[in-house]
Amino acid sequence: MSQTTTYLAKHVKELKPSGIRRFFDLAAGMKGVISLGVGEPDFVTSWNLREAAITSLEQGYTSYTANAGLIELREEIAGYMQKQFSVSYHPESEIIVTVGASQAIDIAFRAILNPGDEVIIVEPCFVSYAPLVTMAGGVPIHVQTLKENDFKILPSQLEEVITERTKAIMLCSPNNPTGTMLNKAELEKMAELAVRHDLLVLSDEIYAELVYDEPYTSLASIEGMRERTILLNGFSKGFAMTGWRLGFVCAPEDITQGMLKIHQYAIMCASTMAQYAGLEGLKNGRENVEEMRKSYRQRRNFIVQSLNDMGLTCHNPGGAFYAFPSIESTGLTSEEFAEQLLKAEKVAVVPGNAFGGSGEGHIRCSYATSLAQLQEAMKRIKRFIENL
């Protein structure tokens, strides 16, 4: 251990590096790799959004915006949330524009958690949730969903781990990495539990635009949940703006104003030109969103059918752009499968255990790549399984 390591905080030294990053690094040094590991759209941000950002620069809009973001953008977000998801927020006091949805999650935890407060995290899940809880002084309590239930959380599972220290539930629907989406009836059961135990719910709805089989229901639109939901969303997935780092959070005023204090000191405001691009997306970007959704739906149908046909059992994901097949039939662990597949056939996937214990025995395959690439990847994976 080097001398400088001793200066690191104990909780930082104990954080584990992202399990996703290791496989990206392995694949980066290889030629001819087809990556099904990247969790971002393969579409380029629509030209009208890029042009709006360019125009903002040409017009000299290069200074800070209000800490909470451009009021014009917050007004559009409020209208968007009302029109698309039937939930109302005040743009002046209940919406903050953030540096991606990830920053929104970070400041939400820091705003609500006292040392030792517990947050129930539904697994498999996005890799950042538990570390952000820990860094905010909280205690992550992991609840593993089951493939037999298509990775849908059951209220009875949550009941088993709720204690007097439980402050909140972290929920993502549609889910990363499984693509599982909770319908309105299932969310109503979650709402009843949250109300009965007086819990907050952080609802990560970043994939709300990418649903394929039934209408999306925002948790905040369920009766009794607006006042106890911290709704997290952004432009990365639905508007193909990952590199712009533009998100937003909607919540009751007391909570957003607490979050805003942290945001002011840590960030100041989101990128001005990115905000103008997002503004254009909400005003004139619906057609592009619909085109992406149709394309993803076609790819989802193809990849799920292909995986099942080759013997890798895979449920039909209701949203996002991930398939989460079981590789248990191969006798390999998730990491063994991913590493051997990469070396033998040059296909990059993410081992399921990167997303929590219940992800073991699975791999995450992103279908946010061209259909031609997916077809070739499926041929390679099938050949790899046959040669085991």
Written as one letter, the residue type at 117 is: D
Indicate the CATH number for domain 47-285.
3.40.640.10
Q: Whose structure tokens read 């694949």?
A: 27
The pLDDT of residue 359 is 96
pLDDT digits (tens, 9 = 90+) for 5-57: 889 998 888 888 887 777 777 777 788 999 999 888 999 999 999 999 999 99
Closest CA to 214 of 180, 256, 171, 170: 180
Q: How many CB atoms lie within 10 A of CB 59?
A: 9
Dihedral sign from CA coordinates of 169, 172, 178, 179? positive
Write the secondary structure of 329-367 as one string of H (helix), E (strand) and C (coil).
HHCCCHHHHHHHHHHHHCEECEEHHHHCHHHCCEEEEEC
Using CA atoms, how far apart are residues 225 and 194, in angstroms rounded to an integer?
8
Per-residue pLDDT at 1: 58
Tell me 250's DSSP state.
E
Q: How far is CA 384 from the centre of its chain?
A: 30
Kindly list the distances between the CA atom of residue 312 and the CA atoms of 94, 160, 298, 315, 361, in Å, as whole numbers in the listed order: 45, 31, 19, 10, 11
- Give the residue ranges of DSSP H helices in 197-285: 253-266, 272-284
Q: Which CATH architecture has domain 3-45+287-386?
A: Alpha-Beta Complex (3.90)
User: Is the CB of residue 263 less than 8 Å from the CB of residue 107?
Assistant: yes
Q: Where in the chain is the domain with CATH 3.40.640.10?
A: 47-285
Task: Give the whole-angstrom CA distance, residue 290 versus residue 198.
Answer: 37
Task: Report residue 92 CA to chain centroid gap.
Answer: 26
Strand order in 322-323's β-sheet? 322-323, 363-366, 350-351
Measured in whole angstroms, the distance separating CA 126 from the mean position of its chain's CA atoms is 6
Residue found under tokens 């290069």: 62
Give residue 274's pLDDT. Answer: 98
Burial 326-357 (b: 16+ CB within 10 A, else e): bbbebebbbbebbbebbeebbbbbbbbbbbbe
pLDDT at 22: 73
Q: Amino acid letter at 153?
A: I
Q: Which ranges of the chain have pLDDT less than 70? A: 1
| Rounded Cα–Cα distance for residues 190 and 221 (Å) | 13
Residue 131: is the preceding peptide bond cis (ω within 30°)? no
- Over residues 291-309, the pLDDT tens digits come to 999 999 999 999 999 999 9
The residue assigned the tokens 């990491």 is 335
CA 280 to chain centre: 23
Query: What's the CA gap between 269 and 66, in Å, rounded?
Result: 7
d(CA 95, CA 248): 7
What 3-state DSSP class applies to 45?
coil
Q: Where in the chain is the domain with CATH 3.90.1150.10?
A: 3-45+287-386
| Residues paired with residue 355 on neighbouring β-strands, in sequence order | none
**Is there a contact between 285 and 46 (Cβ–Cβ < 8 Å)?**
yes
In degrees rounded to 5, what are phi and psi of residue 224? 85, 0
Q: Which residues of 215-237 are buried (b: 16+ CB within 10 A; e: fewer)?
A: ebbbbbbbeebbebbbbbbbbbb
What pLDDT is stored for residue 205 in this prediction?
98
- Which helix (H) or strand (E) segment holds residue 109: the answer is helix 100-112
pTM, entire model: 0.95
For residue 27, what pLDDT is reported? Answer: 77
